[in-house]
């Protein structure tokens, strides 16, 4: 009898191990109707965290065969799939636009935004010191050639926008100018664009402030319009357009807020930066022919809005055509920084220059699947031993 019991226990143990076996799941996420790629889609397992899809909609994640993956993208129907059944192409269905003749609208969109500002400011003030850890990747192309890449882990206050960053570790590599006929372009403090915010939680706007959608005088700077989206369950989402007034000549955001009207929670902000200074290496000037766009997603923890991901894209046309793409992702709990005190900083490169580069660490900490261009650039920089050589001198 004891022998039989032992066999049964061993069999059950084998089943448990099989159930917990991890596999690497890869795929691409697209729009179900148009087949357009959906970059920066959230891919996660409840209570475990996850990743997001990259610029080309591809993702990679290691999970157990019996885990359930959740896919969410603001403005689309969420989807859940058992890990073992995830296909190479994952499709998400867009939410529907509500017909004008049957829509239920707020009494006054300007009054609604006033309530949204007051509620958002209140929740921000309650949780403004909350911190989280983030992963950041940035790549620059000049005339179609990748010449700069930056990756970093850091801690930051995460309520609605990033501030008081403290570097955990990072690496930076850039191709130096080879000749005067085809110099490369690099950017100073491009990371600052990832600190965009949907709200300016102040009672007065100073001249130095960039005008964002939710501020005490938003009617002075913006004209508003909106659409209503709804999912299969009948839940609504307001897509509010903040269009800068023509007379506004200072730095301002032109964009959209996606808001859940049932609890006044901001889910996403998409926008363009207007009248903003673009800084070139060793050159500080306004660039007239540029387009700087961004998107921010938020997650809610106990009714608390926290930055989940930020994507920034910059296109500059001139003597040199350059493009910069960056993606930032919330990886959860604050990471240890060892004996080194967390440093508040504005210049990310200056801190990276002081860190010790470890190739093994970066091999084991990808977080977001690399695009072929990113993978090729990183391999080339590692082969030429470019990482870890950056200096401010």
Q: Residue 12 corresponds to which tokens in the numbers above?
A: 């059950």
Write down the domain spans for the chain: 2-94, 109-383
Residue range 195-230, pLDDT digits in tens: 999 999 998 998 888 999 999 999 999 999 999 999
> Do strands 79-82 and 68-72 pair parallel, antiparallel, or not at all (unpaired)?
antiparallel
**Helix, strand, coil shares, percent, the chain, to 5:** 20, 40, 40
From the list 177, 137, 148, 175, the residue with the least C-alpha distance to 323 is 148
Summarised one tens digit per residue, pLDDT across range 302-335 is 778 899 999 999 998 777 788 999 999 999 888 7
Name the more confident of 273 and 337: 273
pLDDT of 80 over the 90 cut: yes
Highest mean pLDDT among 5-14, 231-240, 384-393: 231-240
pLDDT at res. 356: 86
Which contiguous run of DSSP H or E holds residue 214?
Answer: none
In angstroms, the CA 279 to CA 324 distance is 12
DSSP 299-343: EEETTEEEEEEEEEEEEE-SSS-EEEEEEEEEEESPPP-TTSPP-
Q: How many helices (H) and strands (E) does the chain have?
A: 6, 20
Question: For 122-128, which contacts have Cβ atoms below 8 Å and span 24 or more sequence positions?
Answer: 123/159, 123/303, 123/304, 123/305, 124/159, 124/160, 124/199, 124/201, 124/305, 125/201, 126/304, 127/159, 127/304, 127/305, 128/157, 128/159
- What pLDDT score was predicted for residue 338? 52
User: Dihedral of CA 94/98/100/105: which sign?
Assistant: negative
DSSP characters over 255-267: EEEEEETTTTEEE
Mean pLDDT of 177-201: 77
Other beta carbons less than 10 A from residue 381's beta carbon: 22
Q: How far apart are CA 378 and CA 381, in angstroms?
A: 5
Per-residue pLDDT band at 345 (split at 50, 70, 90): low
What token pair was written down for 370?
């690399």
What single-letter DSSP state applies at residue 275?
S
Q: How far apart are the first and last CA of the chain?
A: 77
Of 121, 33, 119, which Cα lies nearest the Cα of 76?
A: 33
| Rounded CA separation 275/288 (Å) | 9
Question: Which CATH number does the domain 2-94 belong to among 3.10.450.50, 2.60.40.1120, 3.40.630.30, 3.20.20.70?
Answer: 2.60.40.1120
- When pLDDT is averaged across residues 43-64 and rounded to a whole number, the result is 89
Whether 142 shows a pLDDT value over 90: the answer reads no
pLDDT of 391 above 80: no
């Amino acid at each position: 009898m004891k022998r039989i019991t032992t066999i049964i226990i061993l069999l059950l143990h084998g089943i448990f191990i099989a159930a917990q076996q991890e596999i690497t799941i890869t795929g691409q996420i697209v729009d179900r109707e148009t087949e357009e790629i959906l970059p920066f889609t959230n891919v996660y397992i409840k209570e475990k965290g996850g990743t997001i899809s990259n610029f080309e909609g591809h993702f990679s994640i290691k999970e157990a065969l019996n885990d359930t993956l959740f896919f969410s993208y603001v403005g689309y129907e969420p989807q859940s799939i058992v890990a073992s059944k995830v296909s190479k192409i994952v499709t998400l269905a867009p939410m529907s636009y509500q017909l004008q003749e049957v829509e239920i609208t707020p009494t006054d969109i300007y009054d609604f935004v006033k309530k949204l500002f007051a509620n958002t400011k209140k929740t921000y003030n309650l949780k403004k010191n909350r911190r989280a850890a983030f992963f950041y990747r940035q790549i620059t192309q000049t005339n179609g050639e990748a010449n700069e890449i930056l990756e970093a882990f850091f801690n930051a206050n995460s309520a609605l926008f990033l501030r008081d960053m403290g570097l955990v570790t990072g690496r930076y590599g850039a191709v130096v100018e080879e000749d005067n006929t085809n110099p490369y372009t690099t950017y100073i403090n491009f990371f600052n664009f990832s600190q965009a915010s949907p709200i300016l939680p102040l009672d007065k706007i100073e001249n130095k402030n960039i005008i964002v959608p939710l501020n005490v005088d938003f009617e002075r700077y913006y004209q508003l319009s909106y659409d209503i989206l709804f999912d299969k369950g009948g839940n609504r989402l307001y897509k509010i357009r903040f269009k800068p007034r023509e007379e506004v000549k200072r730095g301002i955001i032109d964009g959209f807020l996606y808001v859940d009207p049932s609890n006044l929670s901001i889910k996403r902000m998409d926008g363009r930066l207007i009248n903003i200074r673009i800084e070139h290496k060793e050159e500080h000037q306004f660039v007239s022919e540029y387009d700087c766009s961004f998107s921010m997603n938020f997650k809610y923890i106990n009714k608390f809005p926290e930055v989940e991901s930020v994507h920034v894209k910059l296109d500059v046309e001139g003597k040199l055509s350059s493009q910069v793409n960056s993606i930032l992702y919330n990886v959860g709990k604050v990471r240890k920084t060892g004996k080194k005190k967390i440093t508040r900083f504005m210049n990310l490169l200056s801190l990276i220059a002081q860190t010790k580069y470890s190739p093994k660490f970066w091999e084991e900490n990808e977080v977001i699947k690399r695009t072929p261009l990113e993978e090729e650039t990183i391999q080339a920089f590692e082969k030429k031993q470019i990482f870890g050589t950056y200096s401010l001198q």
